[in-house]
Amino acid sequence: MRGTDGAGVPAGYRVGGWEVTGHIASGSWGSVYAARGAGGDEVALKFLGTQGLAPRQARELAATARREAEFSRQAVHPHLVRIFDTLTVDDPGLPAADGAVVLVMERAERSLWDVLAAGEPLPDAGAVLTEVITALAHLHAEGWVHGDLKPANILLSRGGSVRVADFGLVARLEGTHGYAPPWGSPDYLPPERRGALLDERGVRTRPDADVWAFGVTAHQVLTGGSLPFPGTTPAARAAAVVEYAAGRSPLRLAAGLPPGWTALIADCLSADPATRGTHTARSLIPRVREAAGTTSRRRGRGHRVVGVGAAVASLLACAGSGSGGAGRAESYGLPPVAVYVGVPGGCAYPALRTPDCRVDLVIDPRGYRWVGNHLALAAWPGDTLTAECEVRDGRWFADGAHGGSRRYYRVRVPGAPDEHAHLPALASGSQPRLPRCR
């Protein structure tokens, strides 16, 4: 996959409905290229080369790519990179790409590692880490372990928003554990993985392995790239982790970290997995947000931390008429909560916004389903809306894949009647429990 310039696929090369426009990055796993569709949509194409692999290895690579794409479709979240499709190249005329498995992915600007490696300042590290832990909490709630969280797999969009990426090592949880391939990035593996037994299903893993990796990543982000364990080589740093886990060496985090971050990272890096497991990604969200807010106040930047409780509605200028809404929210001391639109049953390609992926926003959740009770502009998978309360006795909403429910979230939509509309709760991938609207 790599030529003299690090790229083996020329600009103008077409894969499926996408045209390569340039080379982004290459590594031992393959190469990533920028591409554009006929409608002007920009994506990234991740080429996983199969040259030199045995037939069985090539099949396993293709199966891994399909699993990665399927995971992306199941675990939709604003801060998880979306994979839209998988393709296989059949082109003997271009040996560099022939036989490659290609993942069609959401396009990002660059990785967090690119920023750290360049020595560039990160405008708001707290906001980045808040979005990472939010994505991780959703991933765990959906029953998955990422398995390879690190700055190189955290992408930054052009607007600065985070996308956690690279799901090649994800493991499906079966109760408290899942089974992962016996690989991973050494600097981000917890102590128990270094001597884990391998059986025919892989290596046992749990969500707290991702919490450890988050602790290492947070330390790097907050210190400009410094790893929490000393050593000039991965082997030396691995030995330092073993010494720490055995109780023969204390945990020495970078001096100058604010107390909130120091305590949080220390909890993430608990050597005992049972102790570490008490600090779930979900329980860490408020702590990360608090530490991030404290850091911003100390630095005088005044940046807003973007997390579960703060998001901007992405739908504008809607039309329609109908009878009343669900009224105002009762005050339970809860702030508005961000909800994102999941993938409806029957929606095969959410990125293409086909009719079966459309989710209608309702003006009156108790009213009949007719055109006058729907907004002209629909919601789509991946959209994020701000919800204030929920209606629990609305008209029955059915989804072929997810059942039925009478619950609706009252969401803010500028331009809608009363500046609000209602999203069927089944259409939300986040499923918060909100105060009852009245």
- Span 116-169, pLDDT tens digits: 888 776 778 999 999 999 999 999 998 999 999 999 999 998 778 899 998 888
Average pLDDT over residues 26-42: 82
pLDDT higher for 394 or 306? 394
Which amino acid would we find at residue 340? Y
Q: At what angle do helices 207-223 and 281-299 cross, to 10 degrees?
A: 10
The count of residues in the chain is 438
**Domain identity same for 163 and 250:** yes
Can you say how many angstroms the Cα of residue 235 is from the centroid of all Cα atoms in its chain? 30
**Domain identity same for 360 and 266:** no
Q: CATH number of the domain at 102, please.
A: 3.30.200.20
Question: Is there a domain that residue 310 lies in?
Answer: no
**Domain identity same for 98 and 25:** yes
3-state secondary structure of 422: strand
Computed over every residue of the chain, the mean pLDDT equals: 79
- Domain assignment of residue 386, given as a range: 337-427
Question: Is there a domain that residue 330 lies in?
Answer: no
Q: What pLDDT does residue 331 have?
A: 28
**What whole-number distance in Å separates Cα of residue 342 and Cα of residue 78?**
10
Vertex 148 angle, CA 142 and 154, to 5°? 85
Q: Which of 308, 364, 362, 316 is nearest to 340 (CA)?
A: 308
Which amino acid would we find at residue 237? R
**Domain identity same for 179 and 163:** yes
User: What is the number of structural domains in the chain?
Assistant: 3
Question: Is there a domain that residue 3 lies in?
Answer: no
**Domain identity same for 65 and 171:** no
**What whole-number distance in Å separates Cα of residue 327 and Cα of residue 331?**
13
Q: Which of 185, 146, 183, 48 is nearest to 105 (CA)?
A: 48
Question: Is there a domain that residue 309 lies in?
Answer: no
Look at residues 79, 106, 133 and tell me which one is the last residue of a structural domain.
Answer: 106
Bridge partner list, 30? 27
Look at residues 106, 141, 169 and tell me which one is the last residue of a structural domain.
Answer: 106
- Residue 352's pLDDT band (boundaries 50, 70, 90)? low
Cα dihedral value 222, 228, 234, 240, nearest 10: 180
> Are the CB atoms for 408 and 421 separated by under 8 Å?
no
Q: What pLDDT does residue 86 have?
A: 83
**Domain identity same for 180 and 287:** yes
**Domain identity same for 120 and 244:** yes
Bridge partner list, 428? 341
3-state secondary structure of 344: coil
**Domain identity same for 32 and 62:** yes
Question: Is there a domain that residue 312 lies in?
Answer: no
**What whole-number distance in Å separates Cα of residue 380 and Cα of residue 114?**
31
**What whole-number distance in Å separates Cα of residue 370 and Cα of residue 340?**
24
**Domain identity same for 231 and 117:** yes
Look at residues 50, 81, 106 and tell me which one is the last residue of a structural domain.
Answer: 106
**Domain identity same for 97 and 226:** no
Residue 29 phi/psi, 5-degree rounding, is: -85, -20
pLDDT in tens, 52-105: 666 766 676 776 777 777 777 777 788 998 888 888 888 888 887 888 889 898
**Domain identity same for 50 and 77:** yes
Question: Is there a domain that residue 180 lies in?
Answer: yes
**Domain identity same for 26 and 153:** no
Q: With 50 as the cut, is the pLDDT of residue 421 above it? A: yes
